[in-house]
Amino acid sequence: MDNTKILLKGLITVFVVVTLASSVLGQREWQSLTSFRDVRKFLLLDDTLWVATAGGLLAVNDARQQGISYVNTNGLGTVDIRDIIVDNDGQKWVAGKGRLIKFSPEISKQHLFFDADYNLLELYCLADDADNIWVGTDFGLVRFNKVNDGGQREDTYIDFGNLNSSPLVFDILLTPDSIWLATSAGLAVADRRDFQALKQFTSWEGFGVAQYPILGNDTIVSVAQFQSDIYVGTSQGLFRLIRTAIDTSFSQVSSVASSRVFDIVVTTDTMFVYNANGLNAITTTSDGLLPLPGFLSRATTGLVWSGKRWLSAVDGGLFYNDTGFFERYQYTGLPSENPLTLTVDHSGGLYVGFGKDMFAHYADSVWTPLPVSLGDRATDAFTSDDGRVWLATWGSGVFLVTDSGIINYDENNSSFRGIESAPQFVVVRDVASDGVNIYGASYLTLNNFAIGVGDLANLDDVNGWDSLGSIHGIVNPFVNTISVRRGQITVGTTGSGLYVCDVTGDPLTGLNATCSLYTEQTSSLVSNTIRELEYSPTGNIWVGTNFGLSRWDASIDRFVSVLLPEPIGPDITALEFDPLGNAWIGTTSGLAFMSAIDGSFETFTEANSGLVSDEITDIALDRKSGDLYISTGVGISILKSELRKRTSKIEHVNAVPNPFVIKSDADRVYFNFGQPGTVTIYSVAGELIRTLQVGSGWDGRNKRGEKVASAVYLFVITDREGTSSQGKLFLVRD
């Protein structure tokens, strides 16, 4: 008898016990996708341009090549980077959200900054001063000692003369004996040599709008010294401080009059002022507007490197002047900021909708903008069971992505309708499918039919569309979200709870629906403002609201509240179930994982995980790889599947996911063996089901292409040397 038969015989004679893992994604490996378009500061060091951005730190060596990015998951701990400096020892220091980072490409050390309530402080700017670094925060000024105990926070200063206490400190200027601060309360200066004296407000001199109305307001964004004069930048322009023995005043620099200043950069003989009207170059003899051919956006900061002028722009982006005109640096990550919604197609391609800018497709590390008109913004991205991708918008209806192009469905060729005040402005807030029809939640429609329904097999025929609305019982037009299963749809509203509709018929012959309204008053919903709806693998509806999470309990015929652990919630923004039935819950304060086995929770925030931001906008599961995609206000976090961690030891091979819940023809179970080999599937009775190559995945069909039933199955892995190992998996057909 061969080894495979011996192994199989042993498996069959043993009582089968299936132990369910609590999570497909148990190893907690994170990846971040962010945008480096929002530039805060530049640093030129050793022929490398270091760029501090809202999406992390970018190191550029060549304008035509992709730079190296550093984000929260590879040393920074955050992506919100405000400043980068180098000290006299050549050590780079980075200011990030709540963190002063002693930075090295190989290994970085993070120093966390908390307030009295243990909230992370915002760090805005840094200034090196011998053994100390001065740190501007959203709660005043901090002195950090680089030497003591490997670096530690020493003193905090919040009172600066007659200025309001505890201002935001946006910029720091060190002159031989003094420290100057640009703050949200005005300009401040003191002798910095006595650290203890700096704690007394009387040691500081403040300059605010109450004394100097010419400044326009108290917020000073930048302070610089040029040719022994002190200059400050505000939203009203550039001002020079004039101090004599008998008087102090400010004069406005005429070339930047009434123009918002973003940054001031001083070189040996020139002061560059980046402002809303352009870039001013001020020298010892004159000042004027520096011509920027081919550059239309307002510059916020910049420098000259290798004969090229580099700039950032108000509307986002990194540019350089190489041929007399400015070109956009192409390698800045996400094509836009503020991802709102996402979905993963059956081939693993990612579709993302952004604020007012675009939908884009991401595959093979390349972003491709899609020719989709958003109206006002993206509202939903959805992959139906047949593999088609749907993109919903606030104003332009719904777009279907096909191999041959993109089709728009709006008031002209579907049952989606515009809003009451603008019939051609079609708002579809959410899309869902039951495998037969596509459903869209249309907001505030002019004809009181909130739900558009299209027959997936007849979308190009106007008769293939129908709608559900007030005549079926859906009387609230402020619909937010929709979820469906065969024969039933659930519609969530703003302020009126949710409708559950039993639906018969089809768009071609006519839809019939009986809808019931469920509210916090009648069925114990936690709130009547519904943010998200999702059916669990067992068929129960889960409801995310602005005030917590509810799920339907059939045993008592009402909703029960799901109590979320601190600090998660209560505003629910996203729901997703993985193939094991575990719930992933997105909120404005982080991500929660709820085990389908015992109801236990695991929480993820910026502070304890690789999550790029706590403000979650959407969640999507790649059912092929098991990776979880999480969109946030500042970027996308990817929680990698256990499947990614392949093993070379055949005795350690697992089936992932296990149990294998089949919801569509695209679902597969994989085996995490990192070497060539074969997988043979057997029933518990020893019947051969299927033989396939490692890595191809099993679709739940036998060798004749027929779907196998829900049951426990046995698998045998055999490598190319003939060594075998075995295991069990539980297949469930949804």
List pLDDT tens digits, range 399-437.
999 988 999 999 999 999 999 889 999 999 999 999 999
First to last CA, the chain: 38
Contacts of 657 (CB under 8 A, 6+ apart): 24, 578, 579, 580, 626, 669
State the amino acid at position 66 in one-letter form.
Q
Q: Where along the chain do its domains lie?
A: 3-24+644-733, 38-157, 162-290
Residue 407 in tokens:
């089709």
Residue 539 in tokens:
């068929």
Which residue spans within 76-167 are E strands per DSSP? 81-86, 92-96, 99-103, 109-112, 123-129, 132-137, 140-145, 152-157
**Cβ distance 210 to 200 under 8 Å?**
no
**Cβ distance 433 to 426 under 8 Å?**
no
> How confident is the model over 708-724, as a mean pLDDT?
92
Which own/partner pairs from 204-207 qualify as long-range (CB within 8 Å, at least 24 positions apart)? 204/159, 204/160, 204/161, 204/163, 205/161, 206/160, 206/161, 206/162, 206/163, 207/241, 207/248, 207/250
CA 241 – CA 228 distance, rounded (Å): 11
Q: What is the model's pLDDT at position 643?
A: 53
Q: Of all helices (H) and strands (E), which one includes residue 523?
A: helix 520-523
State the amino acid at position 181 in one-letter form.
L
Q: What is the model's pLDDT at position 515?
A: 96
Answer CATH for 162-290 from 3.40.30.10, 2.130.10.10, 2.60.120.260, 3.10.180.10: 2.130.10.10
For 462, phi then psi, to 5°, come to -60, -25
Q: What percent of the chain has pLDDT over 90?
A: 75
pLDDT-derived band of residue 668, with 50, 70 and 90 as boundaries? confident
CA 300 – CA 575 distance, rounded (Å): 38
pLDDT of 2 over the 60 cut: no
- Dihedral of CA 373/375/379/384: which sign? negative
Contacts of 71 (CB under 8 A, 6+ apart): 32, 34, 55, 56, 57, 79, 612
Q: What is the model's pLDDT at position 505?
A: 94
State the amino acid at position 206 in one-letter form.
G
Residue with the larger pLDDT of the pair 653 and 239: 239
Q: Work out the number of other CB atoms within 10 angstroms of the CB of residue 525.
A: 24
CA 48 – CA 645 distance, rounded (Å): 34
Q: Which residues pair with 266 in a beta bridge?
A: 271
pLDDT-derived band of residue 642, with 50, 70 and 90 as boundaries? low
**Cβ distance 66 to 364 under 8 Å?**
no
Residue 333 in tokens:
């990550």
pLDDT of 11 over the 80 cut: no
Angle at the Cα of 384 from the Cα atoms of 383 and 389, rounded to 5 degrees: 40
pLDDT of 21 over the 50 cut: no
Written as one string, the DSSP assignment of 432-480 is EE-SSEEEEEETTBTTS--EEEEETT-TTSGGGEEEE-GGGT-----EE
Q: Do domains 38-157 and 162-290 have the same CATH topology?
A: yes
Residue 35 to residues 301, 533, 604, 635, Cα–Cα distance (Å): 17, 29, 22, 7
Q: Which residues pair with 401 in a beta bridge?
A: 389, 406
Residue 673 in tokens:
């063996």
**Cβ distance 358 to 370 under 8 Å?**
yes
Residue 696 in tokens:
């191809």
Residue 543 in tokens:
């409801």
Encode pLDDT of 109-119 as tens digits.
999 998 888 88
Q: How many residues does the chain have?
A: 734
Q: What is the model's pLDDT at position 333?
A: 95
Average pLDDT, the chain: 90
Encode pLDDT of 171-198 as tens digits.
999 999 999 999 999 999 999 999 999 9
Contacts of 724 (CB under 8 A, 6+ apart): 3, 4, 7, 650, 716, 717, 718
CA 127 – CA 272 distance, rounded (Å): 19
User: DSSP alpha helices (H): ranges in 59-202?
Assistant: none
Residue with the larger pLDDT of the pair 19 and 374: 374
Q: Is beta strand 479-485 parallel, antiparallel or unpaired with respect to 68-70?
A: unpaired
**Cβ distance 97 to 54 under 8 Å?**
no
pLDDT of 6 over the 80 cut: no
pLDDT-derived band of residue 9, with 50, 70 and 90 as boundaries? very low
Residue with the larger pLDDT of the pair 68 and 421: 68
Encode pLDDT of 296-311 as tens digits.
778 999 999 988 999 9
**Cβ distance 169 to 137 under 8 Å?**
yes
For 617, phi then psi, to 5°, come to -110, -25
- Dihedral of CA 254/259/260/263: which sign? negative
pLDDT-derived band of residue 645, with 50, 70 and 90 as boundaries? low
* Per-residue DSSP letter, 149: G
The CATH class given to the 38-157 domain equals mainly beta
Angle at the Cα of 7 from the Cα atoms of 6 and 13, rounded to 5 degrees: 90
pLDDT-derived band of residue 646, with 50, 70 and 90 as boundaries? low
State the amino acid at position 614 in one-letter form.
D
The CATH class given to the 3-24+644-733 domain equals mainly beta
Q: 433-447, 661-675, 705-719: which range is least confident on average?
A: 661-675
Residue 38 to residues 80, 86, 221, Cα–Cα distance (Å): 10, 21, 17
> How confident is the model over 353-357, as a mean pLDDT?
89
pLDDT of 5 over the 70 cut: no
